[in-house]
Amino acid sequence: MQEDLKTFIEIANKLFEDEQHNPVVFPINPNELSQHIDLTLNDNPIAYNEFLETLTKLVLQTPKTSSKLFFNQLFGGRQSKAVLGDLLSILLNNSMYTYKVAGPQIGVEKEIINKICNIVGYEDGSGGTFTVGGSMSNFMGMLMARDAANLKIREQGFTKPLIAYTSIESHYSIIKSASFIGMGKNNLRFISTNEKGEMLTSELEKQILEDIANGYTPFFVNATAGTTVLGVFDPIDEISKVCKRYNLWLHVDGAYCGGVIFSKKHKSLINGLEKSDSFNFNAHKMLGTPLVCSVIVVKNKKHLYNSFSVDADYLYQTDGDDFNLGKTSFQCGRKNEALKLWTLWKSVGTFGLEKMVNHLFDLSKFAYEYVNKHPDYTVYSSGNSLSICFNYKGIDASNLCTALYEDAKLVVGFGNFREDKFIRLVTVNANNTEADILNFFKELEGYVDSNELTLRTIKKVVS
């Protein structure tokens, strides 16, 4: 093992150096992958030097999500204390289903869950679990809501349809979950939004009343804290009142921006969160831990047991349910995803997390003001969001993003809202400074100014 750890450090150092000089890798055409790196698996072992060379090459040719020019997804950067925790969890290799095999690591996960329940404003009797991501968290929230509406569905399946509601701007995992839990995608209603992209509560209530009038049974509403494209927040407090009126489960999908719970300054964006029944957030997005680090908390933990606990004598042989976390998780064997958040949180404190979150909002404000003031930019987002959406000089966003990627200048993506297509810059990397954001714009502008003609010609060909 010692030898391999040495190798790890060697490769890591090469990667860190390469990140400085080549922050964006030249993409390899997927059809030519085999010509660039030998990925084949063979009958005979490979010589060590060759192994090392191939592995290093593979690492250096992989897209660099921690570089200062990566803005493509809702994660980026590297929080080193979190990486440390994750590396240790790999060495320890526990599985989080029982206290017998995970010991104090169970305490680590429980401490985080308790703390988050507290911050959210859930009272005694609340609970939660780490999941394999926001999609899984949404699925679990929806499943608990289904069983809370009718516990017999677990045994008998659906005897009558149940109806769920989400905004048209919500994440596609809500659609997947609707099919996974057996309610059927056709029984998911998409509620329209205002011009900022926030769910219209009046439309939600109208749709609920219409469904009730037609003899259907509503059971679940998903509100989003940070929609995937525009990064806006549905009005949780207003939505919670509707949910209360019709006795519906309120789930808040905070996968993207749920980390805002740590910021006193920006917490008003999630007003009413304590009235929700379940809430999830991805620490691997706003808090910068390695993927995946996702938590779902629930106001009343009995729902976790109702939906996810099945007795298994071959597994649960010691200690109480409270410490055998397999009773409240989807998986059986489960990687320890808690330690990386704990090492980060422990090292910087809750105030440190708050600072990170505030810094991300400061960066977004800086970027928003930059595009808003600059006459060559058209802006599509409304500020107070980690997503800054714009076009530059009216150039087609997908052409520009693809060209930037292919020429290894910048990694950034595009999105849609209603009729508009635009570049989406996200400020989710807390390692970045205002200078890095400025550098993003300079790279983009410099590229466009020297390739404008081509970019416009491609546009003509495409459209």
Ligand X SMILES: *Cc1c(COP(=O)(O)O)cnc(C)c1O
| Residue closer to ligand X, measured from CB, 23 or 254 | 254
Of residues 135 and 432, the one with the C-beta less far from ligand X: 135
Choose between 205 and 253: whose C-beta lies nearer to ligand X. 253
Length of the chain in terms of residues written: 463
Closest CA to 226 of 279, 163, 296: 279
Residue with smaller CB distance to ligand X, 223 or 397: 223
- The residue type found at 248 is L
Q: Are β-strands 217-224 and 162-167 bridged in parallel, bridged antiparallel, or unpaired?
A: parallel
Strand duo 127-131 + 294-298: pairing: antiparallel
Output the six-digit token pair for 152: 């017999």
Least distance to ligand X from the beta carbon of 348, Å?
A: 23
- Residue 220: strand pairing partners: 164, 249
Least distance from ligand X to the Cβ atom of residue 294, Å: 5
Q: Write out the two tokens for 279.
A: 């809430």
Nearer to ligand X, 255 or 425 (CB): 255
Q: Minimum distance from CB of 172 to ligand X (Å)?
A: 8
Q: Please state the closest distance from residue 207 (CB atom) to ligand X, in A.
A: 21
Cβ atoms 254, 46 nearer than 8 A: no
State phi, psi for 300 to the nearest 5 degrees.
-125, 110
Question: Least separation, in Å, of the C-beta of 226 and ligand X?
Answer: 6
Q: Cα(251)–Cα(240) distance, rounded to whole angstroms? A: 10
- Separation of alpha carbons 314 and 167, rounded Å: 43
- Nearest distance from C-beta of residue 141 to ligand X, angstroms: 11
The residue ranges that bind ligand X (CB under 6 A) are 74, 133-135, 171, 173, 224, 226, 228, 253, 255-256, 282, 292, 294
Handedness of CA 181, 185, 187, 190 (dihedral sign): positive
* Residue of this chain nearest to ligand X (CB atom): 134
Q: How far is the CB of 174 from ligand X (least distance, A)?
A: 8
User: In angstroms, what CA-CA distances link 422 with 8, 336, 360?
Assistant: 40, 38, 21
Pick between residue 224 and residue 276 the one whose CB is nearest to ligand X. Answer: 224
Report yes or no: 230 and 389 within 8 Å, Cβ to Cβ: yes
Q: Report the C-alpha gap between 235 and 232 in whole angstroms.
A: 10
Task: For ligand X, give the closer residue by CB, 273 or 448.
Answer: 273
Query: Cβ closer to ligand X: 89 or 173?
Result: 173
Q: Least distance from C-beta 290 to ligand X, angstroms?
A: 12
Strand order in the sheet with 411-417: 70-71, 411-417, 420-426, 387-392, 377-379
Residues 337, 340, 343, 348, CA torsion sign: negative
- Residue 204 or 223 with smaller CB distance to ligand X: 223
Report the nearest approach of ligand X to the CB of residue 108 (Å).
20
Q: How far is CA 343 from CA 89, 96, 125, in A?
A: 11, 17, 26
Neighbours of 165 (CB within 10 A): 27
